[in-house]
Amino acid sequence: MKVIIVGCGAVGQVFGLHLQKAGVELGCYDRPAVTEKLKGALAQGGMPLYQVSRSHRREPFTHRLANYQVLTDVAECQQFEPDVIWCTLPSTAYHSEWFRAFLQKVPSDRVVCFAPEGGRPEFIPDNSGQDRMVFAGITFMAWQADLEGSSGRPEGVYFWRPPLGIPLTGTKTACRAVAQLLKQAGFRSSVGKQGSPAQAAVTAVMTAFVAGLELSGWSLRGFRKSSWLGRAARASREGVLSQLSRAGIFTKAILGILCSPAGFSFLTLLLPIPFPFNLEKYLKLHYTKTREQTLTLLEVFAKDGEKRGVAVENIQLLLQGLRDSAL
């Protein structure tokens, strides 16, 4: 089986490592700066990746991503003739015309999109068959730095894999095929209903949380004391409602508890517990790098909410706050 990974940053490299172990023929496609780095790594025996353990006292286990083909343009991707296109891109790319054009130009049996907002009709090219597209979530964390700073650990991609299954949505046929590939690569998966808003709803909560955290100086303690806590909590509720075709009294009651200042305050206390690394440093590193994605997602949830008649005042407040802070 041939797989092209489109977007070979930290997440793409971790998937590449595991797909390689599943025996696929791997192609890597990204911007010139990334592909040059990938080419250079091949000459050194491959890209080193460091898997973080649950125990802080253990050094990360070193893996090496090797035996991949670097693809530098669309023509080379066409010549590679992939069975599967594996997309680990920021949301800004999925909403671009470039993405649809790429999928139209490069045929494949499957396209797996790790889009935080889940499957959206505007992502799917007109000529794609019903069974081609699968939308999935990322259930591990990967970053391009040593979060411990002065620990003396080497620079490179670090990752942590909690025992969570990767959620898949799409047709049953397409999801079964992708689930089998993930199983061979060492990942568990779960299949949801096609068009399910669950992934987008979870992303809405996380996006609002991260936006409020950034506006509070990337400090969980500061976030608890900040006025942004309440705004982010209410924005998360607006974001979830923007993704639901209907919300009954029970759903709204649950959201009123979870997406409340008290719920978010509790989340700031609970969230760091399971992670075997400094979560605040990770969140700042990752979401500063993907800031444009945060803005894009908030804009998407605001537009969806307005279409459904959901008040999105707090989402707009977060958007304005992030824009002002960038000036």
Which helix (DSSP H) or strand (DSSP E) does residue 118 occupy? Answer: none
Domain extents in the chain: 2-192, 198-325
Angle at the Cα of 75 from the Cα atoms of 116 and 121, rounded to 5 degrees: 30
3-class DSSP assignment, residue 167: strand
Instruction: Give the separation between CA 5 and CA 89, rounded to whole angstroms.
Output: 10
In DSSP notation, 19-38 reads: HHHTT-EEEEE--HHHHHHH
What pairs with residue 19 in β-bridges? none
- pTM, entire model: 0.93
Q: Where are the beta strands (DSSP E) in the chain?
A: 2-6, 25-29, 47-51, 61-65, 68-71, 84-87, 110-113, 133-136, 141-144, 157-160, 166-169, 189-192
Query: Measured in Å, how far apart are the chain's first and last C-alpha atoms?
Result: 48
Q: By C-alpha distance, which of 147, 95, 159 is closest to 303?
A: 95
Residue with tokens 């942590």: 160
What pairs with residue 85 in β-bridges? 4, 111
What is the arrangement of strands in the sheet containing 68-71, beginning at the earlier edge strand? 68-71, 25-29, 2-6, 84-87, 110-113, 133-136, 166-169, 189-192
Note down pLDDT in tens along the chain; length 327 residues: 999 999 999 999 999 999 998 999 999 999 999 999 999 999 899 999 999 987 655 788 999 999 999 999 999 999 999 999 999 999 999 999 999 999 999 999 999 999 999 988 889 887 777 799 999 999 999 998 767 665 667 888 999 999 999 999 999 999 999 999 999 999 999 998 777 788 899 999 999 999 999 999 999 999 999 999 999 999 999 999 999 888 788 888 888 889 999 999 999 999 999 998 899 999 999 999 999 999 999 999 999 999 999 999 999 999 999 999 987
Per-residue CA distances from 293 to 120, 125, 240, 286, 287 (Å): 16, 22, 17, 11, 8
Rounded to 10 degrees, the C-alpha dihedral 266/288/240/161 comes to -70
Instruction: Give the separation between CA 320 and CA 235, rounded to whole angstroms.
Output: 13
CATH topology of domain 2-192: Rossmann fold (3.40.50)
Q: By C-alpha distance, which of 21, 108, 30 is closest to 67?
A: 21
